[in-house]
Amino acid sequence: MTEVSTAAPLVAPWRFFPAEVARLHRLSPSFLRVTFTGAELDTFADPGYDQRIKLVFPLPEHGFRHLPDGPDWYPRWRALPDELRNPFRTYTTRAVRREAREVDVDIVLHEAGGAFGPHGPAARWALAARPGDQIVIVGPDHAYPGDHGGREFQPALADRLLLLAGDETAVPAIAAIVERLPETARGEVLLEVPHPEDVLDLPAPPGVAVSWLPRSGAPHGSRLVPAVRAAAERLTLAGGTPPICPTGAAADDGADPDEELWEVPVGLSNGRHYVWLAGEAGVIRTLRRHLVRERGLDRESVAFMGYWRLGRADDGV
């Protein structure tokens, strides 16, 4: 007699969720909150903090007809002809309401021809989005029992002195982190945004100071870089006497500026501080050089993430 297996079927940590736009809320000139709904979103996991997901956008005339599914979707997607390859971009879940089958995503809007370059597929979709528009979300499955991945903030380090900083592309992730910090958390949050009207309401624990830094037409990083340097001084991030930074080429971190900038702690050091930085890659590289090379901050106490690169259309936004 053949035995029938009673083991539960294997569940992948990530899956495709068909969804549509339920509501649109313009938070400010630069931020649009999109609420997605779908019959299967009651199984969408909510690991919180800076949880990354992917939004897959429809193709004109094709929709999602040629979008591969399953665990091997990505290599199959890459093998498609360009005209049949659905574009997708990475975002952060701003809120998940499984009972209501809803997921909120905050999308950065920008002017064509600005620092981000010409409008790419994500920006064009966001600017034209209407309730009922179809989309596919690649996100974590609540039925998966393990770590889904795609989250860089380490909650175990939230009891340290914190420095969270980034530009507008990092605002949704930082906001989601701050809202989950314990009431005993201490530190600073620095958020560079395009306009004074982009300052949003962001409740934080009493010991966490939140500073908004509108550029008002100034270059990217012009407010964030000095603010992070000043915060590093206030929080005495490195401790002791900072090492002398050499001049010239030796002062650089030695990395190829075209290489992806994405470094997160791989272990838990015994440091007193924890830094999370994300935004334009050149700006984040400058901050990494200052904190690690000039101030001697332990690399195991920092997370540096280049979300996008200056002049590249829709790169990470």
pLDDT tens-digit profile, the chain (317 residues):
445 444 445 788 999 999 999 999 999 999 999 999 999 999 999 999 999 999 999 998 899 999 998 888 999 999 999 999 999 999 999 999 999 999 999 999 876 545 554 467 888 899 899 999 999 999 999 999 999 999 999 998 999 999 999 999 999 999 999 999 999 999 999 999 999 999 999 999 999 999 999 999 999 999 999 999 999 988 865 444 444 343 333 334 445 555 567 888 765 667 788 999 999 999 999 998 888 888 878 778 889 999 988 876 554 43
Q: Please report, for residues 147, 159, 185, 268, 298, the alpha-carbon distance to residue 156 in angstroms, rounded to integers and kept in the order given.
A: 15, 7, 12, 9, 17
Q: Please report, for residues 47, 168, 173, 180, 243, the alpha-carbon distance to residue 154 in angstroms, rounded to integers and kept in the order given.
A: 12, 21, 13, 12, 27
pLDDT at site 309? 86
What CA–CA distance (Å, rounded) separates 60 from 228? 43
Q: Which two tokens stand for residue 295?
A: 């101030």
Residue 83 phi/psi, 5° resolution? -70, -10
Neighbour order of strands in the sheet with 186-193 = 207-214, 186-193, 161-166, 273-280, 302-308, 262-263
Beta carbons of 40 and 145 less than 8 angstroms apart? no
Find, among 19, 216, 34, the residue nearest to 122 by Cα.
34
Q: Which domains does the chain have, with CATH numbers?
A: 14-140 (2.40.30.10), 155-308 (3.40.50.80)
